[in-house]
Amino acid sequence: MDVISVIRTKRDRGELSPEQIDWVIDAYTRGVVADEQMSALAMAILLNGMNRAEIARWTAAMIASGERMNFDSLSRPTADKHSTGGVGDKITLPLAPLVAACGAAVPQLSGRGLGHTGGTLDKLESIPGWRALLSNEEMLNVLDTTGAVICAAGDGLAPADKKLYALRDVTGTVEAIPLIASSIMSKKIAEGTGSLVLDVKVGSGAFMKNIEDARELASTMVALGTDSGVKTIALLTDMSTPLGLTAGNALEVRESVEVLAGGGPADVVELTLALAREMLEAAGIKDADPAKALADGSAMDVWRRMIAAQGGDPDATLPVAREQHVVTAPASGVLTRLDAYAVGVGAWRLGAGRARKEDPVQAGAGIELHAKPGETVTAGQALMTLHTDTPEKFEYALAALEGSYDIAPAGTAFTANPIVLDRIA
């Protein structure tokens, strides 16, 4: 077997054989296939695609590159959730303890942000003392004692994907649907969860800009999970406007705690409850009411135990950026558009995100929104507040936000997109 023939097969729109896929994934993981060669193959896959059999085998080969976890020792059924990433997407933070409060175990392996999409681990690391890196034994212990754990995937879980993900990020192949699907599902299947709910974002602030591509990705992942014996459901959800009123790390933690306390923005609460109901149904838990668990404080209790179990102080003051800049409305009327991508890039440029995996992030940086589409604003009213420790970044962030919103005359009719656009099972 040689890598040149594998590249040529896909370059010429051929179907990779199971043997070719097994060999190239193993050889790349071991360093036998060079980065530039795997880059060429990834680009060929982006341009020419893969069929269901190829994607399934590619996913299986990435799983086989490392270990598989097992939660059979737990007394609860397991349910996990994965989001394809968006702006202000802090849903994992209230969702994991909420589902745990309703009787499921939630082993949530999460990642860090790159570019305009925030990472769950970056958000939680703004909590003083909180640890993302747990051994498998520590992870199982937190899951067993609290019902939920949010942590980084260990090095032994699908190491081929970890290496390939970093390569895709710097070679313009992140958007390849077969590679997105296999990347997500290899980790989730290797993780060992019994059921999985996928939140596939659609819109300007998501990787999938249109619903057709999002539906293709969701269907591919549902098929991969189903074929591997994991009950898998996908919701397509709107990401044309940021979720909630914050985009940034500590800002989103603060908003998540508001949701757990029974408040928070309506869109965040709606999506959290929709995903919670799907997770509980997939796990076979029929009689729990997640809305009640938010209202009576039981989800908050799980959150506090989960944060403390990973070394964090749930009562600690969260970081606040040293500098703020307010963007005001230039006219009175109805806010009819607020572009998620622009807000995400703005928050990233303020220091909330990173351009490379090794870059640091500012815990307090980000954007706080004071109005959402459909609301009436007046000239001079604050539309958003920019937060950063480095004020020289304001100009760069403001450039990203230029033209990111529209204000129509007062009385203009406005119809918001539904948050949940479709369901695939």
Span 241-280, pLDDT tens digits? 999 999 999 999 999 999 999 999 999 999 999 999 999 9
Contact 146, 100 (CB under 8 A): yes
Per-residue pLDDT for 133 more than 90?
yes
- The per-residue DSSP string of 31-99 comes to TSS-HHHHHHHHHHHHHH---HHHHHHHHHHHHHTS-----TTSSS-B-EEEE---SS--THHHHHHHH
pLDDT at residue 377, rounded to an integer:
98
Q: Are 385 and 398 in contact (CB under 8 A)?
A: no
**Which residues lie across from 107 on neighbouring strands?**
149
Answer whether residue 65 is part of any domain. Answer: no
Q: Is the pLDDT of residue 362 over 90?
A: yes
Same domain, 91 and 228: yes
Q: Which residues are catalytic?
A: 82, 161, 168, 183, 187
* Contact call for residues 186 and 63 (beta carbons, < 8 A): yes
CATH number at residue 14: 1.20.970.10
Do residues 393 and 283 share a domain?
A: no
pLDDT of residue 117: 76
pLDDT in tens, 408-417: 999 999 999 9
Q: Do residues 100 and 233 share a domain?
A: yes
Same domain? 344 vs 293: no
- Are 198 and 229 part of one and the same domain? yes
Query: Which has the closest alpha carbon to 189: 279, 284, 77, 69?
Result: 69
Specify if 18 maps to a domain. Answer: yes
Task: Read off the pLDDT of residues 302-353 as tens digits, 9 standing for 90 and up.
Answer: 999 999 999 999 999 999 999 999 999 999 999 999 999 999 999 999 999 8
HSE value, Cβ hemisphere, 13 Å, CA-based, for 196: 29
> Do 126 and 92 have their domain in common?
yes
Q: Where are the alpha helices (DSSP H) in 318-393?
A: 340-347
Is 413 a member of any domain?
no
One domain for residues 118 and 200: yes
Residues 6+ apart with CB under 8 A from 230: 188, 189, 193, 194, 195, 196
Give the mean pLDDT of 118-142.
94
- What's the domain range around 370? 323-408
- Report the amino acid identity of residue 205: G
- Output the pLDDT for position 118: 75
Whole-number pLDDT of residue 358: 73
Residue 125, pLDDT score: 96
Mean pLDDT calculated for residue range 151-170 = 88
How many structural domains are present in the chain? 3
Reduced 3-state DSSP string for 220-255: HHHHHHHHCCCEEEEEEEECCCCCCCEEEHHHHHHH
- Mean pLDDT over the full length of the chain: 95
pLDDT at 354: 83
Q: 162 pLDDT exceeds 90?
A: no
Asked if pLDDT for residue 239 goes beyond 70, the answer is: yes
Q: Based on the domain organization, do 287 and 380 belong to the same domain? A: no
Q: Is residue 71 part of a domain?
A: no
Residues 148 and 289 in one domain: yes
**pLDDT exceeds 80 at position 114:** no
Rounded distance between C-alpha atoms, residue 419 and residue 425, angstroms: 18
Tell me whether residue 317 is in a domain.
no
Q: Which residues pair with 323 in a beta bridge?
A: 388
Q: Are residues 137 and 85 in the same domain?
A: yes
Q: The CATH number of the domain where 357 resides is what?
A: 3.90.1170.30
Asked, for residue 181, whether it belongs to a domain, the answer is: yes
User: Is there a single domain that holds both residue 22 and residue 117?
Assistant: no
pLDDT for residue 251 = 98
pLDDT value of residue 359: 80
Q: How far apart are CA 405 and CA 387, in angstroms?
A: 19
Shared-domain flag, residues 264 and 146: yes
Residue 248 lies inside a defined structural domain of this protein: yes
CATH code assigned at 188? 3.40.1030.10
Q: Is the pLDDT of residue 389 over 70?
A: yes
Is 70 a residue whose pLDDT tops 80? yes
Last residue of a domain, one of 264, 281, 309: 309
Residues 391, 387: Cα–Cα separation, whole Å: 9
**Above pLDDT 70, what percent of the chain?**
99
In a domain, 343, yes or no: yes
